[in-house]
Amino acid sequence: MNRQFEFRELVLRYFLAAVIMVITGCGKGSIASPVGDAQAARNEPGTLALVGYNYTDRYIDSFSVDGQGGGNINVSSPDSGGGGIVCCVLYQPGPKPKTVTVRWQSDACYYRQPSSYSNEVYNTLHSFYKEKKVVVTETTSGKGEYMEVHFYPDDSVQVVVTKELSAPRLSLSKERNDQSDFPRCPNDKKPAE
């Protein structure tokens, strides 16, 4: 893919996400509007659009912030963080550093599972998750619009409330090894919880 096509695709993704936010009530002027200046001054909760940035070498099938789903995030490219915008996450700003719990799929394996309706056997994905408490950085005084979750190759995670979407923080090589092909589970059975 050439860079011009990738840029157009990125712009189209953000445009479609903005349209979805307006339709689902996360846009400006809706009942569930992002945290406004008056709300922020009173430390009242509001909603933010949630977006993930994946700098790891593995697809993240799902992630959440304080139990609020963030969807899936592809492996980033040199000019894209790999994720899209999901509406919405409830957030309450405040003068003290706020801590949130981020949970994400960190690995997985496939096992064989017989169908309960036929004689067929299917490959089923079993996901493994990690969870971390993360201090939220607020880059805006007053009105925030986005909560960005940045997943780094060393398993560190940063959560940032911003007014505008950020560019990816790392520009990783497109040719790096994507390790999203998950292996078979031991003994081809579902791992114990």
Q: Please indicate, yes or no, if residue 124 is contained in any of the structural domains.
A: no
Residue with tokens 């493994």: 128
H-state helical runs in 3-112 = 3-24, 37-42
Does the structure show a pLDDT above 80 at 46? yes
Residues 108, 7: Cα–Cα separation, whole Å: 31
The torsion angles phi and psi of 12, rounded to 5 degrees, stand at -65, -40
Asked whether the predicted pLDDT for residue 49 surpasses 70, the reply is yes
pLDDT at residue 78 in the model: 64
Q: 109 in a domain, yes or no?
A: no
Q: Which one, of 127, 128, 150, lies nearest residue 76 by Cα?
A: 150
Quick one: pLDDT band at residue 43, thresholds 50, 70, 90? low
What pLDDT score was predicted for residue 6?
46
The answer as to whether 18 is a domain residue is: yes
Predicted confidence (pLDDT) at residue 192 exceeds the cutoff of 60: yes
Name which of 172, 169, 174 is nearest 148 in CA terms: 169
Chain segment 126-165, per-residue pLDDT in tens = 999 999 999 999 887 667 899 999 999 899 999 999 998 8
In a domain, 176, yes or no: no
**Stretch 60-73: mean pLDDT:** 89
Euclidean distance between CA atoms 146 and 162, whole angstroms? 5
Establish if 103 belongs to a structural domain.
Answer: no
pLDDT at residue number 79: 64
| Residue 107 belongs to a domain | no
Residues in the chain: 193
- The count of structural domains within the chain is 1
Q: Assess if residue 10 is contained within a domain.
A: yes
For the ranges 46-55, 75-84, 129-138, 143-152, the lowest mean pLDDT is seen at 75-84
Q: Which segments of the chain does DSSP mark as H helices, in order?
A: 3-24, 37-42
Burial class (CB in 10 A: 0-12, 13-18, 19+), 54: buried
More confident residue, 86 or 37: 86
**Residue at 80 is within a domain:** yes
Contacts of 28 (CB under 8 A, 6+ apart): 34
Domain extent at residue 56: 3-95+134-170
Structure token digits, residue 22: 């307006």
